[in-house]
Amino acid sequence: MAVDKGQIFTGSEKVDKYRAIYYAGASGDYNPIHIDPEFGKMVGLGGAILQGLCTLAFTAKVVTDWTGDPGRLKKIKCRFSAPVIMEDTISVQGNVTDVQAGRAKVELKVVNQAGAEVLQKVEAEVDA
């Protein structure tokens, strides 16, 4: 697949109620704000929240699904800006902003179902 400046792509992921527990098992991040809803409420989060890196992984998956090859993703970065809770739907929109020397720069917008940006300043680079 050729990558051209101005290309736009989208994707989404629904966060199932066990996702933070699955991710804790894979990552070792057993912080109680991620796996104990009562603790999450006690500290003012309204319940358990998804690990930020899991949200970023969902975002990376949208990019690699679009490119058709996970090996084409060379760089991704973001600022974690709002918590994601179980049962949220994360939507990602990517926009190719530049293509030079075989690399494409992609700006991504990542929001929940209410339109709140859960990640900000999200940028990726992929092999063009």
Question: Active-site residue numbers?
Answer: 29, 34, 49, 52
Name the CA radius of gyration of the chain, rounded: 16
CA 105 from chain center: how many Å? 17
